[in-house]
Amino acid sequence: MTTIMSNLDDKVRESLRDKILAGNLGGGAHLSELKISKEFNVSRTPVREALCALAADGLVEMVPHRGAFVKERTGKTLEDTANMYGYLMGIAARIATQKAGIEALMELETAINGMNGQDAKSIGQICQSVNSIIRTTADSSVLENMIISTEKLMEPGTNVMQGSVADIYKEYTFLLGAFKRRKADAAEKTMRQMMVTETTATETTGTVN
């Protein structure tokens, strides 16, 4: 029974999160437990759990005696979230630089070299792969949980970096060099500067922005 209830919580939470981040539920929107329970054909208990989880993520505000409301997402909030993501990924790069063995370095080098000559869409996918390698190599459950929590606050479909495909490849080449030389400071700084928002790139006319 507990597992079933947890699955219902997850279903409601992820659906509401997607709607909030996509802008389908604007800031200040009232999230009625009754309406949501009818929409998902579930009791109000998993709905309440889902709303509490979204409140913990910073997407929903629980107002005593009034209910749950979508939090206003200002430009400052989004900027702060993007900056925090950059700092966390920078820390991941620092730790990974210190921990990376030959296998991890070869994996990074193969992925980054594969960026050369690719279009923006492919570059975005490779960026996600490289960042995943770095997070895995850092091997810090505490840091990973912080990164995941920050990602939950980010707009879907936003871009990993700004600039041309050539510039993105160049930046990741710098990062690879820092890893090879075991320059943790350089790796952290480079990664932090690269990470603007979430690790998703969209295809434009040769530019990811």
Mean per-residue pLDDT, 137-161: 80
Mean per-residue pLDDT, 148-160: 69
User: Per-residue pLDDT for 45 more than 60?
Assistant: yes
Give 157 or 46, the one with higher predicted confidence: 46
Helices 120-138 + 141-151 axis angle, to 10: 150
Mean per-residue pLDDT, 167-185: 93
* 186-199 tens-digit pLDDT: 999 999 988 853 33
Mean per-residue pLDDT, 74-92: 85
| pLDDT > 70 fraction of the chain, expressed in percent and rounded | 85
d(C-alpha 95, C-alpha 89), whole Å = 10
Q: Is the dihedral of CA 124, 128, 130, 134 positive or negative?
A: positive
d(C-alpha 138, C-alpha 95), whole Å = 5
Location of each CATH 1.10.10.10 domain in the chain: 2-70
- Is the domain spanning 75-208 CATH 2.60.40.10? The answer is no
pLDDT, mean over the chain: 83
Residues counted in the chain: 209
Mean per-residue pLDDT, 34-46: 90
Question: Which DSSP category does 195 fall into?
Answer: -
Q: Which of 35-49, 95-109, 144-158 has the lowest mean pLDDT?
A: 144-158
d(C-alpha 120, C-alpha 139), whole Å = 29
Mean per-residue pLDDT, 124-131: 89
In the prediction, which pLDDT does 205 show?
A: 34
The pair of three-digit structure tokens given for residue 41, joined into one six-digit string:
């054909």
Architecture category of domain 2-70 in CATH: Orthogonal Bundle (1.10)
Location of each CATH 1.20.120.530 domain in the chain: 75-208
Give 8 or 143, the one with higher predicted confidence: 143
